[in-house]
Amino acid sequence: LAVPSQTCHCCLLGLLYQEYRDKSTRQEIETRRLQDSQTDPEESSPSEETPSEAEPTNTTESKAPPQISLLRNSNSRFNLWQDLPEIRSSGVLSILQPDEIKLQEAMFELVTSEASYYKSLNLLVSHFMENERLKKILHQAEAHILFSNVLDVMAVSERFLLDLEQRVEENIVISDVCDIVYQHTVNHFSVYITYVSNQTYQERAYKQLLQDKPAFRELISQLELDPKCKGLSFSSFLILPFQRITRLKLLVQNILKKVEEKSDRETTALDAHKELETVVKACNEGVRKMSRTEQMISIQKKLEFKIKSVPIISHSRWLLKQGELQQMNGPKTSRTLRTKKLFREIYLFLFNDLLVICRQIPGDKYQVFDSAPRGLLRVEELEDQGQSLANVFILRLLENADDREASYMLKASSQSEMKRWMISLAPNRRTKFVSFTSRLVDCPQIQCVHPYVAQQPDELSLELADVLNILDKTDDGWIFGERLHDQERGWFPSSMGEEILNPKIRAQNLKECFRVHKSDDSQRRKLGSRNRQ
């Protein structure tokens, strides 16, 4: 078989990846809404039940050759696999079982989405990076930070896409794609770790260039207005590799949910998923490492120790939460005193292994007067104590800086802030819906319908169509959740999602989650236990 030329897949599909991804996730949300409104998940039709990144459109009018020609046809739009003229004319739809058709759609979606991603990468390089005016404005070092190793990433995507295209063209019924995903992830996808790890530098450099170089700012605005960009920003192109490697893992998960159990294709999908998960985790760690180190250095400079000094900076330490709370001065019986006399401000820095308790002093400094290992902290909520003691909890240090047990009665500004502190301070504590010592059986679930970017270390960034278990919620509009596809936990506003009410859909989501992670027993156990961040 002839391998498609480079020019073929540069222009083969109408949508840029950003548009493609948005359409896909919104379709996924609508599909889940439809399922949730039905009494039986199996009632939905095959095309509705399978969330797809493919956009159903009219079939192309060109005469169908023996092999699938979508990837060679530069005028074609996104199609479902079953809508391709080659598939319809072959009669194969009357032979295949519905489950196999769903699997074909899931595999085809991975291929077409890679084509769209490559198209967007190519535009980033040809339209922005290789622009002659931009080359003159930027110093070589600035260009390197801004674009990093995007040429390597694009070369890897091209090689990957060529292999996927060739597989699709071998037979109208796709045999597998996860074996190709596995090989490329193991041998080539390390370029993603390099690119994503540069993200913090990249964002900072871009903001600095916009601020310091008017010529850069004006040129980028002009380039963004070009019809090729379809109204999308330059920064949306820069973040593509991180979005793609994460999405690729979810596409493999989607295939994994549809392959027959205990089959060779299930084994291959599990292997591909495991390798992708390793790359995604390395990408996340690369991003966090630099920002965490800078943050720890900044905190260290602000602390003055009233007690024996504790070294703050450590390669294995990072900040989980910081903020002001009110400490109760008098005994519990002093309810007659005015609130402002009853409490005084203290400031907490909570790290993954250490709590530091301070008082703010002039000059943006903090005087440390107590500390304790995070594993030796216990919390207890005070209930029905009246308005002055609302949102109050007890923090116990089993062994403080003086090697003694100490207790603090602390008041938060709201119910959500109190709960967020309690869960961060003592993560293994039972929440409203789940005991962390038990398996998650049928706790509430929520689907993300608005993306959310975390503002605090204990918050969770959300992508459209993410599904999460609700572990706790507050009366003032916050949810503590665990995302099913990666078990990451954190807080987010309840307005970002819609609760999944159908218990059969919730059970199906959990079953699929267990199946995805069954190759790793520790991952499976982790689903029902506290992820210690």
Task: Characterize the bridge pairing of strands 365-373 and 303-305.
Answer: parallel
Q: Which of 66-80, 193-207, 361-375, 400-414 has the lowest mean pLDDT?
A: 66-80
Among 168, 34, 46, 149, which Cα is nearest to 109's?
168
Containing 528, the helix (H) or strand (E) segment is none
pLDDT of residue 527: 43
pLDDT of residue 20: 83
Residue 388 has pLDDT above 80, yes or no: no
pLDDT of residue 433: 66
Among 349, 351, 358, which Cα is nearest to 304's?
358
pLDDT of residue 506: 92
Which residues, including other chains, have CB under 8 Å from residue 34's CB and lie 6 or more apart? Answer: 44, 48
pLDDT (average), residues 345-359: 96
The mean pLDDT value of the chain amounts to 84
Only one residue has tokens 């696999």, namely 81
The token duo for 113 is 């989405």
Residue 17's pLDDT band (boundaries 50, 70, 90)?
confident
Rounded to an integer, what distance in angstroms lies between the CA atom of residue 320 and that of residue 136?
Answer: 43
Range list of H helices, 303-414: 339-342
pLDDT of residue 372: 96
Distance between the two ends of the chain, CA-based, in angstroms?
49
Residue 253 has pLDDT above 80, yes or no: yes
pTM: 0.78
Sheet containing 343-351: order of strands: 303-305, 365-373, 354-361, 343-351, 319-328, 406-411, 392-397, 377-381
Residue 141 has pLDDT above 50, yes or no: yes
Which residues, including other chains, have CB under 8 Å from residue 233's CB and lie 6 or more apart? Answer: 224
pLDDT of residue 35: 85
Rounded to an integer, what distance in angstroms lies between the CA atom of residue 110 and that of residue 240?
Answer: 16
Q: Which of 147-151, 175-179, 385-389 has the lowest mean pLDDT?
A: 385-389
**Contact (Cβ atoms closer than 8 angstroms) between residue 53 and residue 251:** yes
pLDDT of residue 434: 59
pLDDT of residue 515: 83
User: Between the CA of residue 330 and those of 326, 388, 409, what are the distances in Å?
Assistant: 12, 13, 10
pLDDT of residue 382: 82
Residue 61 has pLDDT above 60, yes or no: no
Residue 70 has pLDDT above 90, yes or no: no
pLDDT of residue 152: 98
The token duo for 19 is 């548009």
pLDDT of residue 385: 64
Half-sphere exposure of 164 (CA within 13 A, CB side): 24
Task: Characterize the bridge pairing of strands 392-397 and 406-411.
Answer: antiparallel
Which residues, including other chains, have CB under 8 Å from residue 17's CB and lie 6 or more apart? Answer: 113, 116, 117, 119, 120, 121, 240, 243, 244
Domains annotated on the chain, with CATH: 9-29+78-297 (1.20.900.10), 319-331+340-425 (2.30.29.30), 445-526 (2.30.30.40)
In one-letter notation, the amino acid at residue 153 is V
pLDDT of residue 331: 52
Among 195, 203, 363, which Cα is nearest to 291's?
203
Residue 62's pLDDT band (boundaries 50, 70, 90)?
very low
Residue 158 has pLDDT above 60, yes or no: yes
Q: Which of 16-20, 262-266, 409-413 has the lowest mean pLDDT?
A: 16-20
Q: Is 298 exposed, middle or buried (0-12, 13-18, 19+ CB in 10 A)?
A: exposed
